[in-house]
Amino acid sequence: MGASTPLETRAEEYLAAIRAICDEVRAAAPETEANRRISPRLVSLLSGAGAFSVAVPQAWGGLELDPLTHARGIELLAEADASTAWCAMIGCDTGYVSTRLEESAARVLYSDLAAASVWVAAPTGAAVPVDGGYNVTGRWTFASGSSHARIFCFGALVMTDAGPEMVAPGVPAIRVVALPREQVDVIDTWTTTGLRGSASNDCAVTNAFVPVQHTFSMMAVEHPRPEPLYQLGSLFVWKIGGVPLGIARGAINDVLAIAATKRTLGNTAAIQESQWLHLAVARAEWKYRQARSFYYEALGDLWATLARGEKPTREQAVQVHLSVIGAVENCTEVVDAMYRAAGSASLYARHTLDRRLRDIHTAGQHTTFALDRVADDGKALLGLPTPNAPMLSVPK
């Protein structure tokens, strides 16, 4: 067996650092949920482990790890607590966003590359061109990690006196604007079913000046940096698959842990002796492992293409998206089944299965998993055009 490459060594060290903090993340989960944010202590632990700098260029002092390692770290965290994992997943967009800017401007704005970012791509703001930049006003929802992020990145329509600037008929120009926390109002709106600790609040900006060098076009094809990690615009999305996988793994482990001592009414034997539980955990394990294998296989195939300096195909993008859909749908079934298998124990808010059930159903509402996006996958498999499917867009 050959020696590990520098990338493999960095990946192993990173995952070891994440494993080292998972017990504390798990222990803090009730507090995280109750406070609807991760604590400053957890922010510090995540930052110190590299969770927010996994996508920052190594040339800048970041880890610049491959997307499979990003996902595995998130999966480990999600097994401990999904809200913390969600914050890590969004927070590590620091590397993906900062590298879209010109380097000197990025290094000034992102003075702490180990800090978390928020990125809401939906263009629900307006960017009015002025000398040297844009005046930005808008309100954005689902700003995960808003309680602790240093930099906030929002999509905005470029507005002119005649209305939105258009780059093609029916296609408006979208500018991503990056602002320091001081220019953003965080509005406490995140009272939800699950992922309660992710602080995915609304954010508002009112007539804030953003220098042009702190913005970039969502339509840009060429990336300023040459490394493989930055050559596919949608790559930052795919780490989301680690969240449902981690939640499902945790749910199976929860049931395995209580099976030796839990008994049903009128039965002195532990439920681990019951055939119905044998079948339930067997089905859960195969669903979880099938979903996990497809996800890492598809993501690994895409990454191998990028790492060779080649352009990925639309078919590869379809397979990755389908694997993410498979992860959330199969893992939701797993968590539902484990919730039922645990019986009355699951009903209490203090039990981890209660939280896992709510977390995975909330995560499944993310736009990545929307049915119209699944339909785009089907159209692509049938050889039909998918002009409005940005997740399936690949460099030409």
- What is the pLDDT averaged over residues 159-187? 92
Q: Cite the beta strand spans of the chain per DSSP E.
A: 117-130, 133-143, 151-160, 163-164, 166-168, 171-172, 174-180, 185-187, 201-211, 215-217
- What is the pLDDT averaged over residues 28-45? 98
The pLDDT value recorded for residue 69 is: 98
183 and 332: one domain? no
Whether the CB-CB separation of 383 and 315 falls below 8 Å is answered with no
The pLDDT value recorded for residue 273 is: 66
16 and 155: one domain? no
pLDDT band at residue 1 under the 50/70/90 scheme = very low
The pLDDT value recorded for residue 395 is: 85
Query: What does the CA dihedral 137, 138, 142, 148 come to, rounded to 10 degrees?
Result: 20
210 and 340: one domain? no
Phi, psi torsion values for 173, nearest 5 degrees: -75, 125
Q: Which residues contact 190 (CB under 8 A, 6 or more apart)?
A: 36, 196, 198, 199, 200, 201
- What is the pLDDT averaged over residues 83-107? 95
Structural domain count of the chain = 3
282 and 354: one domain? yes
More confident residue, 314 or 224: 314
Residue 375 to residues 171, 180, 328, 371, Cα–Cα distance (Å): 21, 37, 16, 6
Residue 163 forms part of a structural domain:
yes
29 and 68: one domain? yes
Q: 3-state SS of the chain: helix, strand, coil percent to 5? A: 55, 15, 30
Residue 302 forms part of a structural domain:
yes
Residue 61's domain is classified under what CATH number? 1.10.540.10
278 and 385: one domain? yes
Judged against a pLDDT cut of 60, whether residue 167 lies above it is answered with yes
Q: Give the residues across from 210 on adjacent strands.
A: 134
The pLDDT value recorded for residue 150 is: 96
- What is the pLDDT averaged over residues 113-125? 94
pLDDT band at residue 341 under the 50/70/90 scheme = confident
pLDDT band at residue 223 under the 50/70/90 scheme = confident
383 and 321: one domain? yes
- Token pair listed for 269: 């034997």
Q: Give the residues across from 174 on adjacent strands.
A: 157
The pLDDT value recorded for residue 218 is: 79
The pLDDT value recorded for residue 389 is: 86
Integer Cα distance of 25 and 207 in angstroms: 38
- What is the pLDDT averaged over residues 358-362? 98
Whether the CB-CB separation of 366 and 325 falls below 8 Å is answered with no
279 and 316: one domain? yes
Domain end: 71, 98, 125, which one?
A: 98
Integer Cα distance of 112 and 94 in angstroms: 10
- What is the pLDDT averaged over residues 348-372? 91
Phi, psi torsion values for 155, nearest 5 degrees: -80, 140
- What is the pLDDT averaged over residues 177-189? 97
pLDDT tens, residue by residue, 306-323: 999 999 999 999 999 999
123 and 17: one domain? no
More confident residue, 52 or 392: 52
pLDDT tens, residue by residue, 265-297: 556 556 676 777 899 999 999 999 999 999 999
Judged against a pLDDT cut of 70, whether residue 233 lies above it is answered with yes
Least confident among 83-92, 163-172, 223-232, 297-306 = 163-172
Domain end: 98, 126, 147, which one?
A: 98
Domain that holds residue 152: 117-217
The pLDDT value recorded for residue 230 is: 94
Residue 147's domain is classified under what CATH number? 2.40.110.10
Whether the CB-CB separation of 144 and 203 falls below 8 Å is answered with no
Residue 103 forms part of a structural domain:
no
Domain end: 191, 217, 243, which one?
A: 217
76 and 133: one domain? no
The pLDDT value recorded for residue 261 is: 67
Whether the CB-CB separation of 203 and 140 falls below 8 Å is answered with yes
pLDDT tens, residue by residue, 52-73: 999 999 999 999 999 999 999 9
Helix, strand, or coil (residue 187): strand
Residue 109 forms part of a structural domain:
no
Residue 396 to residues 101, 166, 306, Cα–Cα distance (Å): 22, 22, 13
More confident residue, 261 or 110: 110
Residue 251's domain is classified under what CATH number? 1.20.140.10
168 and 27: one domain? no
The pLDDT value recorded for residue 271 is: 67
Mean per-residue pLDDT over the chain, rounded:
92
Q: Which of 110, 87, 108, 88 is nearest to 97 (CA)?
A: 110
82 and 135: one domain? no
